[in-house]
């Protein structure tokens, strides 16, 4: 019985906790490495280009020429931003 319980805990950790922690680490690294000129998408679906990375954990994002907004780095979606930049990287080859 105790071995079965230990096995269940191990499976739960392998399939639930570990992948979620890995994904959170990747998102944090992505947000930390944002630079001026990066094309990004927010979790609300707003597309733009990074104009400035501020020291207070925010970025100034240009949404259209002459229009910018200040948003939190944590509001940047890693999945959507990478999907947006993937075709651009393939076109450059």
Rounded CA separation 34/31 (Å): 5
Q: Which ranges constitute the DSSP H helices of the chain?
A: 2-12, 18-32, 78-91
Please give the pLDDT value at position 79.
84
Please give the pLDDT value at position 57.
87
Please give the pLDDT value at position 91.
56
Which domains, from first to last, does the chain contain?
Answer: 34-93 (2.30.30.140)
pTM: 0.69
Mean pLDDT by 10 residues, the chain (93 residues): 90 88 89 90 92 92 92 89 72 55
């Amino acid at each position: 019985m105790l071995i079965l319980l230990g096995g269940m805990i191990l499976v739960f950790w392998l399939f639930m906790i570990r992948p979620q922690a890995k994904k959170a680490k990747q998102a944090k690294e992505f947000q930390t490495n944002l630079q001026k000129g990066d094309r990004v998408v927010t979790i609300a679906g707003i597309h733009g280009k990074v104009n400035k990375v501020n020291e207070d954990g925010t970025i100034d994002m240009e949404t259209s020429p002459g229009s910018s907004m200040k948003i939190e780095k944590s509001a940047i979606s890693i999945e959507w931003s990478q999907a947006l930049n993937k075709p651009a990287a393939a076109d450059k080859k």
